[in-house]
Chain A
Amino acid sequence: MKRMKWLSLLLIFALFAASCGSDDPISDAIDSATDAAGDAADAATDAAEDAADAVEDAVTGDDDEDAMAEEDDAMEDEDAMEEEEEVTLTQGSGLTFHMITHSDDGPFWSVVKRGMDAACAAHGVDCVWMPGNNDPGQMVVDIETAISEGSAGIAASLPSPDQLIGPLQDAVAAGIPVYTLNSGLNDYQTIGATTHIGQSEDVAGQGAGLRFNALGATTVLCGRQEQSNVGLTERCDGLKETFNGTVIDEFVGLDADQTEQINGIKAQLEANPEIDGFLGVGPVIAMSGLTASQDLGRDLIVGGFDMTPELLDAIEAGDIAFTVDQQQYLQGYLPIVLMFLEATNANQAGGGLPVLTGPGFVTPDNAAAVKALSAEGTR
């Protein structure tokens, strides 16, 4: 009997929850109203927009961001175009490239994948996305599959070189062009890959140092959110190489406890009154640095690494000076372009050196644009 009572209570609750979940009446009404008013206008507006785009293209020419923003439009039109222009694209068609990464399909890798898709659509080639989900074993199998399918080019990330170098060398031996992306800066030459497409943490840190020089900082606190992460340490080391003033390089608290992190930064700021810049080597710690400086009423030049919507908002508002962007879209886009050129025109880019996709910078000037692109999933 008692159990029945509980069950019925649960049922009532579930029903209640379901009824709460129904659609918002306001947006319904708007939809209907807009439909009524706007349907007729739609066609006209679209036409006008297309015209405007065309003009803009002509004016801005090679502006990257605009080009990227319109990539989608281009992709939509691609299907139609392909049928018409099949004859002229015979050189590229029939090529199949494989991109094998340790992707977990998170926000970072989904941008890489969109870059790949866009490049493949633009060049009219077939691409196979093989996410390894952080499992090197899976990646080895994928590489072998790509070789056996007679791939026209393999782009792979190298999270654990020891296991992946062998299979990729086999691919090179089989005459397949190999490119490494994202991670693999130290091993692409061993493999015999044409080049590496990615960001070096050192160089990213150096870029941040130059930014701080330009912004007029004299003492920068390089705050790390992990005690012993080689990548983060390299970012701070890069900063030290190019920054003209003093760098204080400290661990200030884990991302997992932001209260501690904020107060750790505050303690550093109070102990070193000469600090006038803060570089957080991650997006969360950059926000913590901003909070700490605001709490203390100190006007710091704050820089960060990578992006979160929150960080972009802060940059747009001018609270944070810049963030270092790895531009992972390029890590998906460029390998396809380079492989396409190697396959069709026997070009080898890079000259034996890596092709760096970063550091790109998001500053108050371009934050709004990047934010929009980020929402579209290409930044």
Chain B
Amino acid sequence: MSDTIAGDADPQTEQAAPAADERLAYRGVFQRMLIRPEIGAAIGAIAIWTFFWAVSVPFGKAGGAASILDVASSPLGIMAVAVAMLMIGGEFDLSTGAATGAFGIIMILMVRDVVGDAGGWGLSLWWALPLSLAAAITLGWFNGTVVDRTGLPSFIVTLASFFVLKGAKLGFSKQLVDQIQTGKLDDLIIAADQERLVGLRLIDDAEGARQQELLNSLGVTMDTPVEGLEAGNGTFGALLDAVRAADANDNARELEQLAELSRSFIDRPDKGYSTLNEIFAYDWLRNEHIWEWRDWAYMLGAFLGLSLLVLAVYEMHFRRKPGVESAGILPLCGGLLIAVAGAVLTIVSLTNRSQNPIAAVLAIASSLAVVGIGLSIMRSYRHRANAQGVSIAVKSLMRNALVLPGVALALVGMWRLHATDSVGGNTVGAILIGAGMLVALIGWGSTRYVRRASLGDAAQQLGDASDDFDDSRSGSVAPPFVIGLVALVVGMFLARRMDADNSTNLVVEWDLSGWAMFLIALVVAGLAAFLSAVRGDTVAAELSAGETAVSRAMSVLIGTAGQRMRTAGILTFIVTMLFLAQATIQGARAIFFMLLLGVAAVSCMTGVRRARNVSHPLGSLLLLIVSVLVAGTAFFIRAESMTPKFRTQMFSVLLAVAALMAIWAIATLIFQERSGPDHDADGLGRGLAVAGGLALTVGLFIRLLAVTEAEVLRGITPTRFSVRILWFLAFTAVATWVLGRTRFGSWIFAVGGNKDASRQVGVPASRTKTQLFMITAVAAWLVGLLLAFRLNTIQASTGDGEEFEYIIAAVVGGNALTGGRGSTLGAAIGAFIMAMSVQGIPSARWNSDWRFVFVGVILLLAVIANNYIRTQAEQAR
């Protein structure tokens, strides 16, 4: 589709570094992270989640999470991931939405016994599944082949497929079932059950003692009598009548034949429905899974995950001491895990007098430990340094006295946090945890990484930096920092001044007319435009380039700065108008506070980044100050907010962030960063990051999937988690693995970037594209299956027009429309963002009519942010 080559740097960046060889340029861990395509979506998802969580009551709860996961998983998420792969391969498929419904309908029609006058196939599900899969693959093959052979844009070809499918769905449903929907899938089991029941009743019929005798002699066992079932419907009723008639006529041979038949009814299978229903439509009822130690496991997962993530960043950022290798670290991790598990068990058994499932904690801890050890053994084996690795690990463990006390401290903190619900207890617990993590992580680092010359030298450096503070580079540090502080103070001031309980509309409360709204929006938009133009002195440069006043003005309006101004201005105007029209005082307070907090965070971090460039210790120092500010904000929120979730959850999250910042600030003050590649360290870092992410996810899921006794007593809303979420996660994981780790994945990127060029270097371009279409169709089949088992019957209109939602989710997730760039993980995150809007807008009690405005704004912002972050990160090499 596109003529640009994958990974082709855009001309601006080439100009930025003309002399250096780009292939040799080293990118630090953060830079590498920022140029990932999904980074914009990830940041956006967190921001939107925080936003909705803040402005609405049910959003952050388990029920809300279940809803979000449900919407994000089945049609949307799976399809977004598949569509993203196709988009990376440079093609579109507009038939995907209609196809999801179509394959569901095909499967149900294959399975049903009675389908209007046309008759049904009445196949077993074990046959219907592969057959409908074959149909899906055929559709994918057809789309792919036609696109390939004709050379037409896939937009057109699949649009045709879309209409064909849409029409066929409606046509066949009406023709076969005389409805705009298929019949029920669970008729299978109902029919089977009813037949079984009627059969039993037949045997049990008081009038039919002879038949019963006969059937008994034939080996048909009898069950309990069945009440409330009317005999005489359908085939079985006919059978019953026939038996009675035969009995009346004393026709023994016929009776025997019929007895045989009724036995066959009793033994009739449900065509695989029960089994497959468990696989495709299993629901986990949260309220039925009570586990007192849930919060322990959750916190353990969270802190373990965070620690591992910090370790991962350490490993990828700092310079290793000579002789330190990856091999030794994982046995150490395993050892640590076992130690942690042991400590937890000790505490649990000390504090616990009831017979709670300690075994479950043990299982989780030991399984994590086993995973760690297994990984380490694999790794050591690969490095052929098994014995050496273990000895290094033991040595470093012996040498490092700080890690264990740190971990112990953190655990005591967690115990404090758990032991009390009061806020005071939370503070003590949080501080202990923070201190513990700090001690453990610094201790850990000191055994592995090269130290900076000395702290005295660092102070010296700091002094040097402050000496030439009027230097043009250091001069840029103060403004953002000051802006951040001002934003923070203003935010706190507004939060104190505005009434948190006032839910009247902003327009009503402030008595704004339409014109006043317009003017306010105009002023805010002008401000935003001005701020965006001031950035980077572009205006000045463009002004000096012009000659006359008019041409200067023109150059500003036409040039890049002008473009940015217009975009920023128009967007801000729209958002402000919407905000004024919809927000309540309550909401506005939250929005202002969050917005200003966001501005403060971004500005302060910009200040820190710039300070880093001037002098490293200065940057660390500023970061330390920021972490103190964050902690201060946490306490402010706890003091100011009325809602318990702000007082507890937000408070602890902010404290955790502050702690991580402080840890990082101190670590960067002490250890030397790495300036060149180190593949061994990077590999280990990635492994640690994955392990950390897993630990976080497991912790989070434990929190979501179980309830505590106290919650049950309080009477919380029942919540179900569907197995569809698992399907979605599995599909995303497989797709990500294929895209990132296999040859086929590389081919996808290659054909998406430039089909002809990739063919020149030996990529089977046509085949790859056709296979991509087939993968998309298979995803649609899977979704159709999940839909069929969930809804039991499928509308003819199911999925029509949904393909654009899939594409939006993919684009929000950082997939380029031109192909050759993107990520399946991003598409999954994009699906989450879309799902959050479904759940969040009603939760915030906004009018749902505005949902699509929200989606549109998110789409635009996500694409702009993605682009911006990428270009910034690439320029900063």
Interface residues of A (CB under 8 A from B): 20-21, 24, 26-27, 29-30, 33-34, 36-38, 41, 106-107, 110, 227, 250-260, 262-264, 266-268, 270-272, 284, 295-297, 308-310
Q: Are B838 and A34 in contact (CB under 8 A)?
A: no
With A263-B67, A266-B67 known as contacts, the answer to whether A250 contacts B718 (CB < 8 A) is: no
Q: Does B235 contact A (CB under 8 A)?
A: yes
Q: Are B241 and A34 in contact (CB under 8 A)?
A: yes
Complex alpha-carbon distance, A37 and B835, angstroms = 61
Q: Does B191 contact A (CB under 8 A)?
A: no
Q: Are A30 and B71 in contact (CB under 8 A)?
A: no
Q: Are A263 and B178 in contact (CB under 8 A)?
A: no
Q: Does B802 contact A (CB under 8 A)?
A: yes
With A30-B261, A296-B717 known as contacts, the answer to whether A258 contacts B798 (CB < 8 A) is: yes
Q: Are B242 and A259 in contact (CB under 8 A)?
A: no
Neighbour of A33 across the interface among B75, B246, B801, CB < 8 A: B246
Neighbour of A310 across the interface among B121, B184, B245, B246, CB < 8 A: B184
Nearest CB on B from A255, distance (A): 6
Tell me the B829-848 residues at the A interface (CB within 8 Å).
Answer: 835, 838-845, 847-848
Chain B: CB-nearest residue to A223: B848
Give the chain A neighbours of B847 by CB distance below 8 A: 250
| Stretch from B154-162, B207-215, B786-794 that touches the partner | B786-794
27 contacts between A and B (CB under 8 A): A21-B121, A26-B261, A29-B257, A30-B238, A33-B258, A38-B241, A38-B242, A38-B245, A107-B179, A251-B848, A255-B797, A256-B802, A257-B76, A258-B787, A259-B71, A259-B74, A260-B838, A263-B835, A263-B838, A266-B67, A267-B840, A268-B842, A271-B56, A271-B57, A271-B842, A284-B181, A284-B795
Q: Are B67 and A267 in contact (CB under 8 A)?
A: yes
Neighbour of A297 across the interface among B239, B718, B797, CB < 8 A: B718
Q: Are A267 and B838 in contact (CB under 8 A)?
A: yes
Give the chain A neighbours of B245 by CB distance below 8 A: 33-34, 37-38, 41
Complex alpha-carbon distance, A258 and B121, angstroms = 27
Nearest CB on A from B213, distance (A): 20
Q: Are A257 and B802 in contact (CB under 8 A)?
A: yes
Neighbour of B848 across the interface among A36, A38, A110, A252, CB < 8 A: A252
Give the chain B neighbours of A267 by CB distance below 8 A: 58, 64, 67, 838-843
Complex alpha-carbon distance, A253 and B839, angstroms = 11
Q: Does B849 contact A (CB under 8 A)?
A: yes
Q: Are B264 and A107 in contact (CB under 8 A)?
A: no
With A34-B242, A107-B180 known as contacts, the answer to whether A26 contacts B795 (CB < 8 A) is: no
Complex alpha-carbon distance, A36 and B793, angstroms = 39
Q: Does B522 contact A (CB under 8 A)?
A: no
Q: Does B123 contact A (CB under 8 A)?
A: yes
Known: A33-B246, A256-B802. 12 other contacts (CB 8 A): A110-B178, A250-B848, A253-B838, A256-B797, A257-B75, A258-B787, A259-B70, A259-B76, A267-B841, A267-B843, A271-B56, A271-B845
Q: Does B677 contact A (CB under 8 A)?
A: no
Give the chain B neighbours of A268 by CB distance below 8 A: 842, 848
How many residues on the B side are at the interface (Cβ–Cβ under 8 A)? 70
With A37-B246, A255-B795 known as contacts, the answer to whether A107 contacts B800 (CB < 8 A) is: no
Nearest CB on A from B329, distance (A): 43
State the 3 A-B residue pairs at the shortest beta-carbon distance, nearest first. A37-B245, A267-B842, A270-B58
Q: Does B183 contact A (CB under 8 A)?
A: yes
With A21-B121, A258-B798 known as contacts, the answer to whether A270 contacts B848 (CB < 8 A) is: no
Neighbour of B239 across the interface among A30, A254, A258, CB < 8 A: A30
Chain B: CB-nearest residue to A23: B119
Give the chain A neighbours of B852 by CB distance below 8 A: 227
Give the chain A neighbours of B249 by CB distance below 8 A: 37
Nearest CB on A from B808, distance (A): 13
Chain A: CB-nearest residue to B247: A37
With A30-B239, A33-B257, A309-B183 known as contacts, the answer to whether A270 contacts B717 (CB < 8 A) is: yes
Q: Does B799 contact A (CB under 8 A)?
A: yes
Q: Are B843 and A270 in contact (CB under 8 A)?
A: yes
Neighbour of B254 across the interface among A21, A36, A253, CB < 8 A: A36
Q: Are B242 and A30 in contact (CB under 8 A)?
A: yes
Complex alpha-carbon distance, A172 and B179, angstroms = 37
Nearest CB on B from A60, distance (A): 22
Complex alpha-carbon distance, A260 and B764, angstroms = 39
Complex alpha-carbon distance, A297 and B795, angstroms = 26
Nearest CB on A from B838, distance (A): 6
Neighbour of A259 across the interface among B101, B180, B787, CB < 8 A: B787
Q: Does B526 contact A (CB under 8 A)?
A: no
Interface residues of B (CB under 8 A from A): 56-58, 63-64, 67-68, 70-71, 74-76, 97, 101, 121-123, 174, 178-181, 183-184, 235, 238-239, 241-242, 245-246, 248-249, 251, 254, 257-258, 261, 264-265, 717-718, 720, 787, 790-793, 795, 797-802, 805, 835, 838-845, 847-849, 851-852
Nearest CB on A from B137, distance (A): 15
Q: Are B838 and A264 in contact (CB under 8 A)?
A: yes
Chain A: CB-nearest residue to B791: A258
Complex alpha-carbon distance, A250 and B844, angstroms = 13
Give the chain A neighbours of B258 by CB distance below 8 A: 33
Give the chain B neighbours of A270 by CB distance below 8 A: 58, 63-64, 717, 843
Chain B: CB-nearest residue to A35: B242
Complex alpha-carbon distance, A21 and B127, angstroms = 13
Complex alpha-carbon distance, A267 and B837, angstroms = 11
Nearest CB on B from A319, distance (A): 14
Nearest CB on B from A287, distance (A): 8
Q: Are A29 and B261 in contact (CB under 8 A)?
A: yes
Q: Are A20 and B74 in contact (CB under 8 A)?
A: no
Give the chain B neighbours of A309 by CB distance below 8 A: 179, 183-184
Chain A: CB-nearest residue to B57: A271
Neighbour of B842 across the interface among A227, A264, A308, A310, CB < 8 A: A264
With A271-B843, A297-B717 known as contacts, the answer to whether A259 contacts B179 (CB < 8 A) is: no
Complex alpha-carbon distance, A318 and B848, angstroms = 30
Q: Are A34 and B238 in contact (CB under 8 A)?
A: yes
Q: Are B174 and A106 in contact (CB under 8 A)?
A: yes
Chain B: CB-nearest residue to A34: B242
Complex alpha-carbon distance, A297 and B287, angstroms = 11
Chain A: CB-nearest residue to B134: A13
Give the chain B neighbours of A260 by CB distance below 8 A: 71, 75-76, 838
Chain B: CB-nearest residue to A110: B178
Give the chain B neighbours of A256 by CB distance below 8 A: 97, 101, 795, 797-802
Complex alpha-carbon distance, A64 and B847, angstroms = 43
Q: Are A27 and B839 in contact (CB under 8 A)?
A: no
Q: Are A295 and B179 in contact (CB under 8 A)?
A: no
Complex alpha-carbon distance, A266 and B254, angstroms = 56
Complex alpha-carbon distance, A19 and B838, angstroms = 48
Nearest CB on B from A297, distance (A): 4
Give the chain A neighbours of B805 by CB distance below 8 A: 257
Give the chain A neighbours of B844 by CB distance below 8 A: 271
Complex alpha-carbon distance, A260 and B839, angstroms = 9
Q: Are A27 and B718 in contact (CB under 8 A)?
A: no
Complex alpha-carbon distance, A47 and B76, angstroms = 60
Chain B: CB-nearest residue to A272: B845
Give the chain A neighbours of B265 by CB distance below 8 A: 26
Q: Are B242 and A33 in contact (CB under 8 A)?
A: yes
Chain B: CB-nearest residue to A252: B848
Complex alpha-carbon distance, A257 and B793, angstroms = 13
Give the chain A neighbours of B841 by CB distance below 8 A: 267
Nearest CB on B from A94, distance (A): 35
With A41-B245, A267-B67, A270-B58 known as contacts, the answer to whether A26 contacts B235 (CB < 8 A) is: yes
Give the chain A neighbours of B717 by CB distance below 8 A: 270, 296-297
Complex alpha-carbon distance, A260 and B852, angstroms = 13
Give the chain A neighbours of B97 by CB distance below 8 A: 256
Residue with the greatest number of chain A CB neighbours at <10 A, chosen from B74, B180, B184, B264? B180
Give the chain A neighbours of B239 by CB distance below 8 A: 30
Complex alpha-carbon distance, A57 and B192, angstroms = 38
Complex alpha-carbon distance, A243 and B248, angstroms = 60
Nearest CB on B from A28, distance (A): 11
Neighbour of B70 across the interface among A29, A30, A263, CB < 8 A: A263
